[in-house]
Structure 1
Amino acid sequence: MADETNELTIMNLIMAGGNAKGASVEAIRAAKAGDFDTATAKLKEADGFMVDAHNAQTGMLTQEAQGNHVPVSLLMVHAQDHIMNAITFRDLAGEIVDLYQRLAAK
């Protein structure tokens, strides 16, 4: 059962990372179109997905700290890669939205 739980957590990490990146892309596209309300909403949506990912990671870290080893598989590495890319993309999307806002204000 632990393997099934870990697999579900890993898949949730992958989905959360993909959803966060997707919302970040939508934020950039909205800002490019001058729709800053939507851009802000999409950045907040991305943040929500990142919170989901963080909570899943925290659960796995807690398991590990309690002595319940969480096996590291290629799927786990893939999930962590998705999360790292989503974090980077979200950070850059925030900067790009800000840049579009500054350009629109001129």
Structure 2
Amino acid sequence: MVEDERMQVIMGLIMHGGNAKSQAFQAIQLAKVGDFDGAKAAIAQADQSIKAAHDTQTDMLTKEAQGEHAKVDLYMVHAQDHVMNGITFRDLAVEMIAIYQKITDK
């Protein structure tokens, strides 16, 4: 993989991970004011961002299995950190939305 292409992959991972986190945060804010349909839609957007990042990771793993080694440097670690944070934040958001829903239903 040429350096420009590699940096595009890295920036894509950062973008998708950041988008997932932002969309999950938006979902929490919507649930907080009782907009559970909006919260559900924001989680769906976060899921799309996570899927895009996961698809990139799957492609990288496939290439690795085929002998095309991915260079692991601080950029790649940073990108993977963004993806992991996006996934974690999304999972926490789902739990917080459920709590807000439960409080609202009482």
Q: Bin the TM-score by the shorter chain.
A: over 0.9
**Percent identity between the aligned chains?**
54
Deviations 1:41-98 (A, max 9, x none): 0000000000000001111111111101110011000001111111110000000001
Identify the residue that residue 71 of structure 1 maps to in structure 2. Answer: 71
Distance 2:82 2:15 in 1: 9
- Is structure 2 residue 64 aligned with structure 1 residue 86? no
Corresponding residue pairs, total: 106
CA RMSD of the aligned region, Å?
0.8
Give the unaligned 5+ runs of structure 1.
none
TM-score, normalising length from structure 2?
0.97
Moved over 4 A (4+): none
Aligned partner letter, 1:20:
A
Identify the residue that residue 53 of structure 2 maps to in structure 1. Answer: 53
Identify the residue that residue 95 of structure 2 maps to in structure 1. Answer: 95
